[in-house]
Structure formats: structure tokens, C-alpha cells
Chains A and B, each alone.
Chain A
């Protein structure tokens, strides 16, 4: 008996969802091994992750805090990915947004919040977009591989950032008696630039609002407008799309403006809503995780709201078990890696059929 693989022409939604669920389940089974190694009962661990992420008040609100940047980043990425452009430098665009917001916040901290905060978001959007545009132009004009150029630009900015917080931006004053021996950080941004929170939580609601609205808008843009039409056409067949009169350059730039801009807003939210100052550990990988959630959510901005909430919960639950069971920091990464591998493998069954012959 030989097996043969046949490409599916169409896959029903039901198959897709079923395969996804089975993949995640298989991944959880596999990851159990890790917990068994540590002498833990996987069922306990999983229920603890679930409980602490989705069943307690603080779990849910913290999951939302994680969801905010993920949703912003991945909604934008969904657009560029559908345009056939692999922007994997969202982390850099997020950082660009945060850095721009920092400059504005520090220099115009005397403005009233109601005025300053919208400015911060706009500036963050613009900076993120600006950091995203060069790879689009390089790709359109010179066919420079965007996977590489977006990643490299992230690193360039990352080191500029490190330079600034270790030098020009480094806080001058000491916090209380502590001198933070060699620990680099900037000053806390002025009060007026702090984003308002929902009482009793860490949810910076303006960013949450923007994230949810923009994901709906991104969905509408993609499916209901001429510009989304162009993105999908170029993503599926750039030759036919340009032959039909669409502009590759303009469309890819537009998609990158949205993607980079939304990542920039995520950076503003992280700085002004959560961390309030820069430290070397400011970045926590939302720009990269967003790639994964965008892909998991099928590059559909609407389903991303759910996907990112679940993913945010996984991060929160993961941190929780890390602390309670004294597991190493890497356990969340390991977990994510395993889930992705299984979903990737499951994807094969979505696209192909295995038959006997």
C-alpha cells in the first residue's frame, strides 16, 4: 500500500476548525511531557493555566492587557500578509512608535492629557508607519526580500534604542536611595501622558478601544473597500493585479502604513499605558508573537480579537504556573513552539488530502 498526497481545491470551514482544535489538543498532550519531567500532573497544570487566565477577575483583565498590543500588531499584519508581504519587523515598528511617543511626552508633558494623548497616538502611528515604509519601497522598486529587510531594520532601531537609554535618555535622578547600579532606564514620562486605566485593573482602555475598533476597521478595509480589494488581489496574484492596473507600490505601502502604524500605537500603549518609562527590557516580543497570532487567526482581523485574547490568556496562565510551580522562564516559549509546530503540521491536512492507492 502506498500513500499519496493530493492538493485540495477547497477546504470546508468545518475541516479547518476541526483540524485546528485537534492540532492544539495534540500539542497540549505533547507538552505534558515537560510537566511530567518536572513531576507535575499535566491536568493540574492545564487547569491552573486555564483557571488563572480566564476564570479569575485578575486573570481576565491581565489577559486583556496582553491582548491589546497583540491585537493591534496582528490586525495590521493580517493586512500585509494578505497583501503577500512578509513584515516580520513589527517589533521594530512597535518600538519606533514608543520612542516617538516618549520624545513627545517628555517635551510636551505640560499639555493637558486630553490634548496630549491623541497626539501621542498619532505620533506613534506615524513613527511606526515610517519605520515600515522603507522595506515596502525596497521590495517594490528593487525586489529586496522583505523578510530580511524588515528584520534588519528592527535590529538597527533596537540598537539605537539601547544607545539612547544607556546614554542620552538615561535617567539623571536617583529613585529614593537606590542608585540602580548600572541599570539603565529613562525617566518616567510626565503624568499627563499616562493613559487612563479601567479602575482596579491595568487595562489602559484608550488603547483597548483603538485596538478593537481598528481590528473591525481593518476587516472592513480588507473585505469591503477598493483598497482591500487591491491588497487581496496583489496578495494572490501580483502579476494579474498589476496587469489590471493596480499599483503594487501604492498598495504595499498602504498596507505597511497600516501595519507599521498599528504596531506603533501598540508601542505607545505599552509605554504610556503599562511601563511608563524605558528599560532595556521594554520589549517583550509582542511584535513577533503578533506574527504568530495573525497566522493562527487566519489573517482575518475579526477572528483575531478572539485569537489574541486566548493567546494573551496563555501568556498570563503561563506566567502564573511559572511562578507557582517554579518553572523556568522558557516554559511559555517552549509551549508556544510546540503548539505552533502542531498547528503547522495540521495545516498540511487542511491543504492536502492523503489517499491510498
Chain B
């Protein structure tokens, strides 16, 4: 490993403080980026990594602290300032105009010519392809591109703007291992060019694969910065979580019973009219956690939506407790005994302007005891909310508080409590711990295991491979709409599952 780390740092951030209502997101954070280095910013969800980088990119203004770029003290009021200073950022949610082509997306910001800006842009894109090995078709519409391709467009965007400081926010979370390897190669070539790269991640393995130095954050503070050669996996994990990490949850062997969910040859169309789920068959039994692993965007979302009634099934069938549930409405399916813990809880799980009490009966308000004749019984609704608040340790001043004021963890507890209270036979959980802190994550995982032991059937879909391995009795790996295989966690290694996630069939 040879790289120039002499000269002054590209970026120095000192004593950065950023408060959000009720949260101290950055607490006197110091950070430094050198030219020609890949610097991993490691931490759990909610540790303040993204906030810090959004400050560097001018999206947020720090409440305190100073920023130096290339030795000069700067104030970055907007992304425009950041771009001028040579800072580029690839967000987790891509900021591209769907209806426009790749070239148009670039031209709007960076074309120099007023007339016919696209010609100039296309030439530059070919340039980047040669220099860094980034393949993109300038005439493709964004909506036609895969997530991995869209990410490349974002990187080209940053390069085009002349960035010598590139920030990548969890770039591999949407990539297959193969695509991730390609990305790392591109990053290495950029490093050789003398650029500085900040790589936000919560995956330890990536730190060791690609980074030169690593800064670990926890609860808004920097725990430490190390050279990767000096670090060990255990040490980093401890810094990240603040205590020794127990990678194992206590789990008794499952005793699966009767099938609760039976899916046969299921085919479902995605948003773009292509088949997102292609002929998938499986069953989930009572007392069993059936996990689905895979890189996001391989049909998991569509599969779940089809099962719970939010998306039309093109062909095949879904049966719940032996009853045909194919293309029934979400409410009919819920009444068959299906509980759903949706992904993106703020978007699909909560009505933010309604109270915690109202949210706690979001799926059962229309039935007794909450409905009496034509009216709702708000006394009963409040009582339900209060019992959920107690039972699931939800931190909230009162059941009348609007749900938008809850933290992520408390929101998820409310959703999970609400679903379990309906006493479902099948629980469908999509990324149930995404974005939660360690405490809430552990809480939810233990709860799912307990429900399994109480003979519930659980379908767990998660982009977090460790979570799937820890919790599941059986694991299906999904790739491009199909199951590559269904395995038992004790019979395969983590690496083998990782390979399956990129589409290769590994037989134990």
C-alpha cells in the first residue's frame, strides 16, 4: 500500500456541532481527509456520519465549528459552494431526474455551452469511461437504468464538476458484491489520481477491503481515527457499538408446524412493467422464521407487496392458512391473520399527522371495540395506545402526541406492537431494524424470535445479511426476481450466501 499522504489535508473539520430538534446529531466532531486516500467513516445508523458529510456538502449548516478546505477556512452555505470547492457527494437516494437522459442530467449543472450542451457532455462522459472505467450510456433515460448504473451516473456527476473530494454515502447498500468490486476499482483509480474519498459505511468488511484510514463515530461523536493496518475487526466493532458485540442471539432450534403462508409460482410486475418477481415458490410454517436475503432491488419489495395485497399478482398464487389470498385487498389479507411491518416506516407505517393513539389502531379502527355503531370509541383507542406504550416501552409523552415526533426506534416499536396486538398468524417484516440504534435493534430481533417461539410464522426480508442469518430457520436468497436457493443457516457460510446474492448457485 503506497500512497501519498504528505501535504496538507484536503478537508479539516473542527468541533462541528449540529442539533436537530431533540437530537444532538454531531457533538464536537473533528474529521480530516488527505489527498490520495480513501477514508472510511464508520458507524451505526444514526451515529451522525451522514449528517457530518451533509454539512461538508453544504446541505446543513453547522451550529458550531469550523471547516477548512485545502488549508483555507471556508463557509459552505449550499451545495453550490461545496461544488465550487471541489467537493462532490453521492447520496444514498440518488438525485437524478427520472424523465431525462443521463446526458441531460449532467448538462443541467455542468455544460459550458448554452446551445447544444449535450454534445459536449457526451464527449466528457466518454472521457471518464476511459480514465476510470465507468461505463454509462449518455442517451439512456434514468428510469431505464438499474440502481447500480444510476450510482455510476452520480459518480460521473461529481467527477464532472471537478470534484477532488468525493463523498459516497453507503454506496454498496444497493449493489451486488460484483458491482461493489467494480466500484472499489473505480475508487482506487481515483485515489491514484490524488483525489480524496470519504466512504460512509456501517460494514466492517468494506473498511478492510478498500479504505486507508477509518474514522469511527458513535452517537454523534468521533470515537477515534485509525490507519486500517492498525485496526482489527473486533476493535472497530467495539468502537462502533461501545461495548463488546455479541454477534449471536440466543436461539433454540425451531419446531416448524403447519404451513401458514404458501406461495406458488408467483410472478409480479415491477414499477417499470418488467417482471420483478419471476415464478417464486415457498412456504412459511408456524413456529418458523423464513428469511429472504438479497441485495435491495432484486424483487423483495414487490414480493412482499404482492403477499400483503399492495401489488397485483400477475400469475401464481398466495395462500394464507389454506385460504386463497391472491389479489385480495390489503384489508382482506390482514383479516386472514397477516401482520405487516413495512419497510420505510415513515412512508408506509405511520400517519405522521395523526396521534400515537390513532396510529396504534390504524388497522383495526373500523371494528369493535374501537368502533361503536357509527362512531369511534376514543376512550378505547387511548387505552389500547397506553397499553402498547407500556408493553413495548415506547418513549412518548402522551398517546395524543403526533406520531411524527417519535424517534425511529419508538416508531418501529409502535408499528410492531400494533401488528402483534392484532394477533396475526403470519408476520411479514421488511427490514424491521433498518436505521435503528443498537438497543432498538436488539429489542425488535428478540421480539421476533419470541413470537416465533409462540408459534407465529414469520417472513423476514432484510438487506442486512447478518440479521437474516441470526434470526432465520431457513434462508432464501433472491436474485433478479428468483430464488437462487433455499438454505439452512447452519449449513452454509456467510460467504456462500454472499456469493448466492450475486446470482451464483452454491450447493452445500
Contacts and interface: CB of A to CB of B under 8 A. Distances in A.
Interface string A245-256: 111000000000
A232 B365 contact: no
Nearest to A234: B351
Q: Which of B352, B358, B376, B378 has the most CB of A within 10 A?
A: B376
> Which interface class (under 10, 10 to 19, 20 to 34, 35 or more) fits A?
20 to 34
B371 A226 contact: yes
Contacts of A225: 374-376
A243 B348 contact: yes
B404 A243 contact: no
A107 interface: no
B58 interface: no
Nearest to A232: B354
Interface stretch (B7-15, B92-100, B327-335): B327-335
B310 A243 contact: yes
A236 B352 CA distance: 7
B350 A224 contact: no
A226 B363 contact: no
B344 to A, nearest CB: 9
Contact of A9 (B21, B310, B351): B21
A290 B168 CA distance: 50
Contact of B347 (A10, A240, A247): A240
A357 B405 CA distance: 25
A4 interface: yes
Contacts of B366: 226, 229
Nearest to B350: A240
A241 to B, nearest CB: 6
Interface in B314-349: 329-331, 334, 340, 342, 347-349
B402 interface: yes
Given A237-B347, A237-B351, A242 B330 contact: yes
Contacts of A245: 329-331, 334, 363
A233 interface: yes
A249 to B, nearest CB: 11
Contacts of B378: 224
A209 interface: no
A240 B349 contact: yes
Given A229-B365, A245-B363, A240 B351 contact: yes
Given A10-B402, A237-B352, A229 B330 contact: no
A224 B375 contact: yes
A142 to B, nearest CB: 16
Given A225-B375, A229-B365, A233-B351, A243 B402 contact: no
A244 interface: yes
B358 A239 contact: no
Contacts of B402: 10
Interface in A175-232: 220, 224-226, 229, 232
A357 B347 CA distance: 32
Contacts of A357: 61, 63
Contacts of B348: 239-240, 243
Contacts of B351: 232-233, 236-237, 240-241
B342 A243 contact: yes
B347 A239 contact: yes
Interface string B349-363: 111111000100011
Q: Which 8 A-B pairs have the closest CB atoms?
A: A245-B331, A236-B353, A245-B330, A244-B362, A226-B366, A243-B348, A237-B351, A233-B351
27 contacts: A9-B21, A220-B375, A224-B375, A226-B365, A226-B376, A229-B366, A229-B376, A232-B351, A232-B354, A236-B351, A236-B354, A237-B351, A237-B353, A239-B348, A240-B342, A240-B347, A240-B348, A240-B351, A243-B330, A243-B340, A243-B342, A243-B348, A244-B363, A245-B330, A245-B334, A357-B61, A357-B63
Interface of A: 4, 9-10, 220, 224-226, 229, 232-233, 236-237, 239-247, 357
Interface of B: 21, 61, 63, 308, 310, 329-331, 334, 340, 342, 347-354, 358, 362-363, 365-366, 371, 374-376, 378, 402, 404-405
Given A224-B375, A236-B351, A240-B348, 4 more contacts: A4-B61, A226-B365, A242-B310, A247-B329
